[in-house]
């Protein structure tokens, strides 16, 4: 049975307070598992460029947050909502501290800045959930070498920081990182809706075609702010269609169940643009060396 792992990015305060409870109810209604990756610090979505970004769908207050309105502290205001996801049996993990700052600076940020962002996120996660995080999913699939090193140093069981085809052990500039990557394999809904001539139904059809047209497990990234709110009907159609085709809807951690991590292929990571999204993102590159 093909597995489709649902990776749920929670980027904003409103997404945490409104989108997360709606997604919990929707996923439970369809007996679907999933993994929630939370932004845990200040919500500076008002400083985000909107031309090729999911933020073009945000409400006015979110679009002004950290710019003309104070930036809400997501991990304080949204802690109860986050804990509800865990109590409902969903995997919970780290997305970012200051998500907008990470997306705009991570590619070139100095080591000290990267460490501060990731360590603050881990501390806040532990304060909310009472335990350290076991996984990391970089905001916007933006990383650098030191951030990859920290996925190993901080003890994550896996990370989902990039786009790609299948699970692998990452290599950057010849350096092996001992933390497996479970990349997003399918296009996201907002990417397919750019340009605006594509309808929501057409975008859903494309995701269904791609998820069924290739062998192996797949990872689909959705957002609390989009599929949990404005595009919930589209997500429900995806869930219904996937289940009707015999696909199992799982959390990302389930993809590692029974997997011999030592035998995962090693791939270099590269940085490239993704259709429908502006700027460089981390992508699974060519095979590096066969695992011993």
> What pLDDT was estimated at residue 65?
60
Write down how long the chain is. 292
154 Cα distance to chain centroid: 18
For the residues 41-58, what does the mean pLDDT come to? 72
Q: pLDDT for 76-102, tens place per residue?
A: 999 999 999 999 999 999 999 999 999
> What pLDDT was estimated at residue 215?
87
> What pLDDT was estimated at residue 67?
65
Above pLDDT 70, what percent of the chain?
A: 92
Asked if residue 292 is part of any domain, the answer here is no
Asked if residue 86 is part of any domain, the answer here is yes
Q: How far apart are CA 100 and CA 51, in angstroms?
A: 15
| pLDDT of residue 162 exceeding 90 | yes
Question: What is the Cβ-side half-sphere exposure of residue 184, based on CA atoms within 13 angstroms?
Answer: 29
> What pLDDT was estimated at residue 62?
66
- What global pTM score does this model have? 0.94
Asked if residue 230 is part of any domain, the answer here is yes
Asked if residue 247 is part of any domain, the answer here is yes
> What pLDDT was estimated at residue 25?
98
Q: How confident is the model at residue 270 (pLDDT cuts 50, 70, 90)?
A: very high
> What pLDDT was estimated at residue 68?
58
| pLDDT of residue 206 exceeding 60 | yes
Asked if residue 166 is part of any domain, the answer here is yes
Instruction: For the beta carbon of residue 77, count every other beta carbon within 10 angstroms.
Output: 14
On whether the CB atoms of residues 184 and 205 are closer than 8 A, the answer is no
Can you read off the two tokens belonging to residue 96?
């970012």
CATH of the domain at 50: 3.20.20.370
| pLDDT of residue 291 exceeding 70 | no
Asked if residue 131 is part of any domain, the answer here is yes
> What pLDDT was estimated at residue 70?
78
Q: Is the dihedral of CA 16, 141, 235, 36 positive or negative?
A: negative
> What pLDDT was estimated at residue 58?
74
What is the 8-class DSSP label of residue 201?
H
Residue 86 has φ and ψ, to the nearest 5°, of -65, -45
Q: For the range 232-238, what are the long-range contacts, defined as Cβ-Cβ under 8 Å and sequence gap of 24 or more?
A: 232/22, 232/26, 234/189, 234/200, 234/201, 234/203, 234/204, 235/23, 235/26, 236/26, 236/30, 237/204, 238/204, 238/207, 238/208
Name the domain count of the chain.
Answer: 1
Selected residue with higher pLDDT from 198 and 183: 183
Q: How confident is the model at residue 213 (pLDDT cuts 50, 70, 90)?
A: confident
Note down the domain range covering 215.
3-287
What stretches of 106-180 show up as alpha helix (H) in DSSP?
A: 111-129, 145-153
Asked if residue 89 is part of any domain, the answer here is yes
Query: Across all residues in the chain, what is the average pLDDT?
Result: 93
């Amino acid at each position: 049975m093909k597995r489709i792992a649902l990776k749920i990015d929670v980027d904003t305060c409103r997404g945490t307070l409104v989108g997360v409870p709606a997604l919990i109810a929707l996923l439970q209604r369809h007996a679907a598992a999933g993994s929630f990756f939370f932004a845990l610090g200040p919500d500076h979505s008002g400083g985000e460029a909107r031309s090729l970004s999911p933020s073009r769908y945000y409400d006015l207050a979110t679009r002004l947050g950290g710019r003309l309105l104070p930036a809400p502290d997501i991990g304080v205001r949204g802690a109860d909502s986050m804990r509800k996801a865990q109590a409902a049996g969903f995997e919970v993990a780290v997305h970012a501290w200051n998500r907008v700052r990470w997306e705009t600076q991570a590619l070139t940020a100095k080591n000290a800045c990267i460490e501060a962002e990731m360590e603050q996120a881990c501390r806040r996660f532990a304060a909310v959930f009472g335990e350290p995080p076991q996984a990391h999913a970089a905001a916007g699939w933006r990383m650098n070498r030191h951030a990859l090193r920290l996925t190993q140093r901080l003890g994550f069981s896996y990370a989902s920081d990039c786009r790609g085809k299948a699970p692998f052990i990452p290599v950057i500039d010849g350096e092996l990182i001992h933390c497996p990557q479970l990349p997003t394999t399918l296009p996201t809904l907002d990417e397919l809706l750019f340009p605006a001539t594509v309808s929501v139904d057409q975008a859903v059809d494309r995701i269904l075609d791609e998820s069924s047209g290739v062998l192996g497990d797949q990872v689909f990234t959705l957002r609390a702010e989009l599929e949990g709110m404005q595009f919930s009907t589209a997500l429900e159609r995806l869930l219904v269609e996937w289940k009707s085709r015999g696909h199992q809807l799982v959390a990302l951690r389930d993809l590692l169940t029974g997997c011999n991590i030592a035998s995962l292929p090693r791939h270099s990571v590269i940085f490239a643009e993704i259709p429908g999204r502006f700027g460089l993102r981390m992508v699974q590159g060519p095979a590096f060396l066969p695992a011993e």
